[in-house]
């Protein structure tokens, strides 16, 4: 299917303040076998189904809507739909937390991004840990860099159930502003993340990490053929952006099927995909399915 539509993902950039209120601890996760201290790779043995967003800004996705308990219950139901549609491949549910979050305001350091507090990250990590979920930390760099932002997240990435995502849409060149310009990321920047994760896996004796890279335009990843291969890091290109089924499928075909990447994913956006693809329409292809 030809790449017929270059549909821009919604650019919602919010200045974040404050912290989350307290909440009741959710019930133990019962829909999937425990993650435990696995030493094997996640892919392709499992499929990852994730809810994406940030609790401080509900408009950004499912992770910010509504209370933690209701959100976890909805994720549990989504996982059940996929398990029913394809019982041959077990599912690892996940939360994909945006941190740092791109900003329309430069901020005190001029980097156009807001790092989330340790308290917020630990709170979401608690939801994941209490419910046997993976945690994926999604970096929107603004005018900062992968090399500058990764050290902030290393304490969390040392945990076996925590993985990483990069969002080139919000990786800005000098003079560019998130929400005004579509950003891009070079293979060299992605390789920086791969090498850092690989070294972490080696030094901490961790199972291989998953690295998700979002894409909805060809220009968002330059020199894609130069992305390094390392058995300690499983790189997943996720077809992002909003649109109807034909646009979603054509993006997946262009960025994953036809480019020969090892692992592919699809992002589905409740408020903007018309109509939203059902699990039976998505399967069996993607290794990762992300709901915003």
Over residues 189-248, the pLDDT tens digits come to: 999 999 999 999 999 999 999 999 999 999 999 999 999 999 999 999 999 988 888 888
Number of folded domains that form the chain: 1
* 60 found inside a domain: no
Mind listing the pLDDT tens digit for each residue in 239-286? Answer: 998 888 888 888 999 999 888 889 999 999 998 898 999 999 899 889
Residue 85 confidence (pLDDT) above 70: yes
Decide if 214 contacts 249 (C-beta within 8 A).
Answer: no
- pTM: predicted TM-score of the whole model, two decimal places: 0.86
DSSP β-bridge partners for residue 94? 50, 134
* 30 found inside a domain: no
Which domain range does residue 269 map to?
Answer: 97-116+136-291
Distance CA 230, CA 250 (A): 28
Decide if 64 contacts 23 (C-beta within 8 A).
Answer: no
* 188 found inside a domain: yes
Decide if 60 contacts 167 (C-beta within 8 A).
Answer: no
Q: How high does pLDDT run on average in the chain?
A: 86
* 248 found inside a domain: yes
Ramachandran assignment for 142, one of left (phi > 0), alpha (psi -120 to 50 degrees), beta (any other): left
Distance CA 264, CA 44 (A): 10
Signed CA dihedral, 195, 99, 223, 292: sign only = positive
* 54 found inside a domain: no
* 233 found inside a domain: yes
What pLDDT score was predicted for residue 58?
86
Provide the token pair at 188.
Answer: 């060299």
Of 111, 23, 38, 9, nearest to 72 (Cα)? 23
Mean pLDDT over 63-76 rounds to 92
Provide the token pair at 202.
Answer: 């080696």
* 110 found inside a domain: yes
* 267 found inside a domain: yes
Provide the token pair at 262.
Answer: 């090892």
| Cα atoms in the Cβ-side hemisphere of radius 13 Å centred on 97 | 28
């Amino acid at each position: 299917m030809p790449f017929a539509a270059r549909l821009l993902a919604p650019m919602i950039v919010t200045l974040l303040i404050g912290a989350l209120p307290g909440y009741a601890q959710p019930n133990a996760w019962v829909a999937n076998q425990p993650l435990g201290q696995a030493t094997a790779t996640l892919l392709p043995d499992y499929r990852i189904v994730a809810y994406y967003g940030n609790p401080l800004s509900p408009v950004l996705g499912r992770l910010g809507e509504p209370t933690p308990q209701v959100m976890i219950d909805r994720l549990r139901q989504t996982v059940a739909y996929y398990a029913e549609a394809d019982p041959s491949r077990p599912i690892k549910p996940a939360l994909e937390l945006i941190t740092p979050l791109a900003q329309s305001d430069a901020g005190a350091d001029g980097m156009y991004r807001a790092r989330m507090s340790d308290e917020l990250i630990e709170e979401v990590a608690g939801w994941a840990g209490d419910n046997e979920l993976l945690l994926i930390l999604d970096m929107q760099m603004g005018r900062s860099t992968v090399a500058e932002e990764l050290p902030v997240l290393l304490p969390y990435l040392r945990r076996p159930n925590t993985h990483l995502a990069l969002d080139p849409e919000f990786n800005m060149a000098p003079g560019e502003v998130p929400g005004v310009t579509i950003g891009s990321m070079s293979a060299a920047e992605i390789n920086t993340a791969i090498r850092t994760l690989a070294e972490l896996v080696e030094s901490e004796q961790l199972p291989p990490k998953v690295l998700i890279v979002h894409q909805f335009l060809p220009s968002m990843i330059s020199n894609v053929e130069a992305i390094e291969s390392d058995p300690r890091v499983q790189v997943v290109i996720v077809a992002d952006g909003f649109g109807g089924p034909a646009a979603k499928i054509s993006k997946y075909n262009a960025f994953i099927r036809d480019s020969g990447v090892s692992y592919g994913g699809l992002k589905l956006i409740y408020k903007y995909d018309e109509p939203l693809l059902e699990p039976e329409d998505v399967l069996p292809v993607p290794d990762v399915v992300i709901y915003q």
